Amino acid sequence: MRIPAFVALLVLACAAQAQPWPSKPVRVVIPWPPGQATDIATRLVGQRLQEMLGQPFVMDNKPGAGGAIGTDTVAKAAPDGYTLLGCSSGPMSVLPNVQKTSYDPLRDFVPLAITNAGGYVLVTSPSFPAANAKELVALLRANPGKYSFSSSGAGATTHLIIEAFNAAAGIQATHVPYKGSVPALTDVMNGEIAYTIETPASTGAHIRAGRLRGYGLSIAGRSSSMPELPPLADAAGLPGFDIGGWLGYCAPARTPREIVARLGSEIVRIMQGSDMRERFINAGLEPAAMGADEALPFIKRNIERYGEIARAANVRID
């Protein structure tokens, strides 16, 4: 007896659905250019996921609009575990608080894990006339409107962290936004801009080479990659000052719970390994190992915190 064609196709479709995940390559969208912190962290973890799960994890850089373009791509993707996002604080915690985005970070995504959670570094050129953080704050505070600070872009994570620092320290300075960390730091190094606050990954080599002077970290603790720098809460006399950024992996909302749980546990296992922690630290990234259950409330707290900063500083991008 011959089996009708549609019955054969139905059998094949059911068989395909029954295959365990992952049964084909997984696409990981990185909403930033190659070499940026999100790109580095996502690729390091993706390489290990590929080895552990036996399928290629294909990295796809889709930069633009402060990370919103790539992030929106994943928000609209099928929730089948085959499209993931290298997510970060900028497009997830900050952008929705300062402009209208086509995605909702809590409604359209499910977090899988947080792989990096760390502070940013307050820097000036080595010639800036302040030997330590307290002298820097005193000088900036005593000269309202005289000095300028740079950021990697209006509404970027760095912008809001500096606004929080300025408010805590009673500083009035002029914001000069750039298109990325490199030009923002370049003009600090050459003395055209007084100061900025940037990631250890982007400032570490310049500090070690003497091209920048580092004063302290934006978080309450120390950094594994730059243990010599104290928290600004202590160094600048700003009790309670504690804010940073984060990186991780997210998936589209409604991705099957078993896939979310498996990916989350695998990423945590990867991040708990001494080899991956060392790789992150060498790249200037503070390793973290939060699974899906911890990641969601962590991201919610960050969204709320950045919302408070944006409203207080009246930061809005139309």
Of 235, 252, 284, the residue that ends a domain is 235
Last residue of a domain, one of 235, 252, 273: 235
97 and 149 inside one domain: no
The 10s digit of each residue's pLDDT in 147-185 is: 999 998 888 889 999 999 999 999 999 999 988 888 999
Q: Which ranges in the chain belong to alpha helices (H)?
A: 5-18, 37-53, 68-75, 89, 95-98, 133-142, 157-169, 181-189, 200-208, 232-235, 257-272, 274-282, 292-313
pLDDT digits (tens, 9 = 90+) for 32-87: 888 888 999 999 999 999 999 999 999 999 988 888 999 999 999 999 999 999 99
The verdict on residue 45 lying in a domain is: yes
**Structural domain includes residue 19:** no
Rg of the chain on CA atoms, in Å:
22
Residues 137 and 221 in one domain: yes
Same domain as 100, residue 31: yes
* CA distances (Å), origin 183, targets 97, 189, 190, 260, 312: 25, 10, 11, 38, 27
Q: How does pLDDT run across 261-270, given as a tens digit for each residue?
A: 999 999 999 9
Q: Which residues pair with 84 in a beta bridge?
A: 28
Q: Is 163 a domain residue?
A: yes
More confident residue, 162 or 224: 162
- Report CA 311 to chain centroid distance, whole Å: 21
**Among 235, 254, 276, residue at a domain's last position:** 235
Calpha distance 259→261 (Å, rounded): 5
Q: Does residue 98 sit in the same domain as residue 162? A: no
Q: Which domain holds residue 220?
A: 121-235
Residues 219 and 166 in one domain: yes
Confidence of residue 4 (pLDDT cuts 50, 70, 90): low
**For range 186-203, the mean pLDDT:** 94
Q: What is the CATH number of the domain that holds 143?
A: 3.40.190.10
Same-domain check for residues 211 and 275: no
Residues 108 and 249 in one domain: yes
Give the Cβ contact number of residue 78 at 10 Å. 10
Task: For residue 72, tell me if it sits in a domain.
Answer: yes
Q: How many residues does the chain have?
A: 318
CB neighbour list of residue 50: distance below 8 Å, 6 or more residues apart = 56, 57
More confident residue, 18 or 29: 29
Q: For tokens 């919610």, name the residue.
A: 300
**What's the rounded Cα separation, in Å, for the pair 31 and 92?**
11
CATH classification of the domain holding 110: 3.40.190.150
Among the listed residues 158, 190, 210, 177, the one whose alpha carbon sits nearest the alpha carbon of residue 36: 158
Rounded to 10 degrees, the C-alpha dihedral 236/183/95/32 comes to -120
Domain identity same for 114 and 126: no
Whether 20 is in a domain gets the answer no
**268 and 201 within one domain:** no
Residue 6 banded pLDDT, cuts 50, 70, 90: low
Do residue 129 and residue 231 come from a single domain?
Answer: yes
Total domains, the chain: 2
139 and 80 co-located in one domain: no
**Residue 5 within a domain:** no
Which tens digits make up the pLDDT trace of 85-114?
Answer: 999 999 999 999 999 999 999 999 999 999
Average pLDDT, the chain: 92
Could you tell me if residue 14 is inside a domain? no
Which long-range CB contacts under 8 A does 217-223 form with residues at least 24 apart?
217/119, 217/120, 217/121, 217/122, 218/119, 218/120, 218/121, 218/122, 218/161, 218/165, 218/242, 218/243, 218/244, 219/118, 219/119, 219/243, 219/244, 221/119, 223/118, 223/119, 223/286
